[in-house]
Amino acid sequence: GQQVMQIPQYQHVQEGEDFTTYCNSSTTLSNIQWYKQRPGGHPVFLIQLVKSGEVKKQKRLTFQFGEAKKNSSLHITATQTTDVGTYFCAGQGGTDSWGKLQFGAGTQVVVTP
């Protein structure tokens, strides 16, 4: 079945630095979504990517969907303490699995002031 893997599992970042987290699927995806979960909170939707090679930006966050629609990345520039949390990618397979989002294990981000 479809598997979604994320690396790294943990990311310690100095405030002001950049970092990237990666998401890889074992199968081709229809689309991919990214969520952020603050400590003690629930996942909050960030963005959805649908097209091959798509790039979307949200202020300091840049999301990319691979050409083969099997991988994605999230790049954060000039990290701030508000970026602390766990970032999950969630992949949507083909039409037979519509609605069944497969989450990765997440990248836990810790920011040092």
Partner 1 sequence: DAGVTQSPTHLIKTRGQQVTLRCSPKSGHDTVSWYQQALGQGPQFIFQYYEEEERQRGNFPDRFSGHQFPNYSSELNVNALLLGDSALYLCASSDTGAATLSYNSPLHFGNGTRLTVT
Residues at the site binding partner 1, with contacts judged by CB under 8 A: 1, 6, 30-31, 33, 35, 41-45, 48, 50, 88, 90, 92, 95, 97-106
Find the shortest distance in angstroms from Cβ 74 to partner 1: 14
Task: Look up residue 64 and give its two tokens.
Answer: 């990319």
The one-letter code for the residue type at 78 is: A
Of 47, 91, 86, 45, give the one whose Cα is nearest residue 68: 91
Q: How far is the CB of 16 from partner 1 (least distance, A)?
A: 27
Specify the residue, 25 or 92, whose C-beta has the smaller distance to partner 1: 92
Whichever of 77 and 103 has its CB closer to partner 1, that residue is 103
Q: Tokens standing for 65?
A: 């969907």
Residue 82: DSSP 8-state: G
Minimum separation from the CB atom of position 68 to partner 1 (A)? 16
For residue 37 the two structure tokens come to 């979960």
Instruction: List, in sequence order, every residue forming a beta bridge with 82; answer none if it has no partner.
Output: none
Closer by beta carbon to partner 1, 66 or else 104 = 104
